[in-house]
């Protein structure tokens, strides 16, 4: 066994899943040395339950004897920490989204280009058992080249639970525009097809009844259309409307495949991948419709016990292997990461313009991305130095007195 990869984790809530993975899976080859968080009660819990150093200062964490960091902090705050870590020579695994403004997209690309360290977006929904099977079928040309695909990530959260996850009026979940949490819908489709978005347009859907009891200022859901670099169109839907859904469907020029709906437990229902090939694409001129329950590939056999449909294990294993081999993984490097962030950010600009398309730059092209160097528009109020963009198509929402009291009651129990 090679020497352990010494890991620091930023975020003592979601970040603990990486700690648990490292402790229970020796083959991942990680040793967590320090955890950083700015919530004292979380750090106290870590000290009580684990023999690990803790700190509330990220700069101090980078001084520890570590090789890599996992960024599991707030959704919109990853870029500055990633840039610091890369400058310190630490490999970076970043959760959820790479950047929250177009300026950050540019700055992150430059930080990665100037560093010898590896950067990877920890987008786990691409790496479920069903997702890996879809990837294999697509690479085997089962349905031909993609024409159209759909990705859904819908995660309704009741008000009491939402408030427990969104501590404080300015928490990012209260302000994230409806297009921003799109990677769980988009990333698997990009992974299956090895395509990248070149333009985006979106429509946001506002519904006051879905915000009641919370301090939300943002719309609950949106529909996003992405034109991909092979001419295909991807439709994305999510993320906070009623009706939990993690679902993917793809049409190629020979046929289609889709994941099952979640109807009897688990992320993917009965786990059976459905495939349909049209008769004129079969040698025997018959329509071929079938399904099967895929197995985990041998290298990811232990994934089924981890979170997010097994994706947590697979992402962590890919990151570990990348460090061992000193090679950035194909998915998801910084350029694909910021392209997905741009879908979210420019998709929101499109929604505010009632669906006007916006082009997504090729972030490998320094001239193309330079156009966005000063575009630091942000909907998040805890970023006071950034110019503001509204978080709802309806403008500023003012939570009611009852909304505030409901949220505060939950927050008081968490102190």
Q: For residue range 11-38, what is the model confidence (pLDDT) as tens digits?
A: 999 999 999 999 999 999 999 999 999 9
Q: SS3 string of the chain?
A: CCCCEEEEEECCCCHHHHHHHHHHCHHHCEEEEEEECCCHHHHHHHHHHCCCEEECCHHHHHCCCCCEEEECCCCCCHHHHHHHHHHCCCEEEEECCCCCCHHHHHHHHHHHHCCCCCEEEECHHHHCHHHHHHHHHHHCCCCCCEEEEEEEEECCCCHHHHHHHCCCCCCHHHCCCCCCCCHHHHHHHHHHHCCCEEEEEEEEECCHHHCCCCCCCCCCEEEEEEEECCCCEEEEEEECCCCCEEEEEEEECCEEEECCCCCCCCCCCCCCEEEEECHHHCCCCCCEEEEECCCCCHHHHHHHHCCHHHHHHHHHHHHHHHHHHCCCCCCCCHHHHHHHHHHHHHHHHHHHCCCCCEECCCCCCHHHHHCCCCCCCECCCCCCCCCECCCCCCCCCCCCHHHHHHHHHHHHCCC
Same domain flag for 106 and 147: no
Same domain flag for 101 and 164: no
Task: Confirm whether 376 is domain-assigned.
Answer: no
Same domain flag for 158 and 108: no
Residue of 6, 252, 12, 280 whose CA lies nearest to 134: 252
Per-residue pLDDT tens for 221-266?
999 999 999 999 999 999 888 888 899 999 999 999 999 987 655 6
Task: Confirm whether 180 is domain-assigned.
Answer: yes
Of the chain, the percentage scoring pLDDT greater than 70 comes to 97
Task: Confirm whether 396 is domain-assigned.
Answer: no
Task: Confirm whether 197 is domain-assigned.
Answer: yes
Same domain flag for 285 and 172: yes
161 pLDDT band, cuts 50/70/90, is very high
Task: Confirm whether 375 is domain-assigned.
Answer: no
Domain at 134, CATH number: 3.30.360.10
Task: Confirm whether 408 is domain-assigned.
Answer: no
Same domain flag for 136 and 121: no
Same domain flag for 97 and 146: no
- Supply 156's token pair: 């309704």
Task: Confirm whether 108 is domain-assigned.
Answer: yes
Q: What is the pLDDT of residue 283?
A: 64
Structural domain harbouring 46:
5-125+311-333
Pairing, β 119-122 against β 146-154: unpaired
Domain at 84, CATH number: 3.40.50.720
Same domain flag for 115 and 150: no
Q: What is the pLDDT of residue 286?
A: 59
Task: Confirm whether 397 is domain-assigned.
Answer: no
Same domain flag for 153 and 113: no
314, pLDDT greater than 60:
yes
Tally of domains within the chain: 2
Same domain flag for 266 and 352: yes
Same domain flag for 326 and 366: no
Same domain flag for 10 and 31: yes
Same domain flag for 235 and 355: yes
């Amino acid at each position: 066994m090679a020497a352990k990869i010494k890991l620091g984790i930023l975020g003592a809530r979601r970040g603990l899943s990486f700690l648990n993975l490292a402790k229970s899976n020796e083959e991942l080859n990680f040793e967590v040395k320090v955890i950083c968080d700015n919530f004292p009660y979380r750090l106290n819990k870590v000290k009580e339950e684990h023999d690990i150093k803790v700190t509330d200062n990220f700069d101090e964490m980078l001084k520890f004897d570590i090789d890599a960091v996992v960024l599991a902090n707030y959704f919109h705050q990853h870029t500055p920490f990633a840039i610091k870590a890369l400058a310190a020579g630490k490999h970076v695994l970043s959760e959820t989204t790479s950047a929250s403004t177009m300026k950050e997209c540019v700055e992150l690309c430059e930080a990665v280009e100037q560093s010898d360290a590896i950067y990877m977006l920890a987008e786990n929904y691409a790496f479920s058992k069903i997702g890996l099977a879809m990837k294999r079928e697509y690479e085997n040309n089962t349905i031909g080249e993609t024409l159209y695909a759909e990705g859904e990530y819908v995660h309704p959260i009741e008000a009491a639970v939402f408030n427990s996850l969104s501590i404080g009026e300015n928490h990012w979940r209260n302000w994230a525009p409806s297009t921003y949490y799109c990677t769980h819908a988009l990333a698997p489709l990009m992974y299956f097809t090895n395509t990248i978005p070149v333009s985006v347009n979106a429509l946001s859907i506002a519904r006051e009844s879905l915000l009641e009891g919370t301090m939300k200022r943002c719309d609950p859901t949106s529909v996003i259309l992405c034109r991909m670099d092979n001419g295909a169109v991807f439709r994305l839907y999510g993320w906070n409307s009623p009706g939990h859904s993690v679902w993917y469907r793809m049409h190629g020029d020979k046929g289609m495949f889709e994941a099952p709906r979640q109807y009897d437990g688990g992320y993917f229902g009965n786990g059976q991948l459905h495939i349909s090939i049209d008769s004129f694409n079969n040698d025997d001129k018959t329509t071929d419709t079938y399904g099967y329950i895929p197995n985990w590939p041998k290298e990811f056999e232990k994934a089924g016990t981890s979170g997010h449909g097994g994706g947590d294990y697979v992402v962590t294993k890919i990151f570990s292997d990348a460090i061992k081999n000193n090679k950035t993984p194909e998915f998801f490097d910084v350029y694909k990461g910021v392209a997905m962030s741009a879908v979210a950010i420019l998709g929101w600009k499109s929604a505010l313009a009632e669906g006007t398309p916006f082009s997504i730059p090729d972030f490998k092209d320094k001239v193309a991305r330079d156009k966005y160097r000063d575009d630091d528009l942000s909907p998040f109020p805890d970023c006071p130095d950034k110019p503001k963009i509204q978080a709802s198509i309806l403008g500023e929402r003012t939570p009611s007195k009852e909304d505030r009291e409901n949220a505060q009651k939950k927050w008081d129990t968490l102190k």
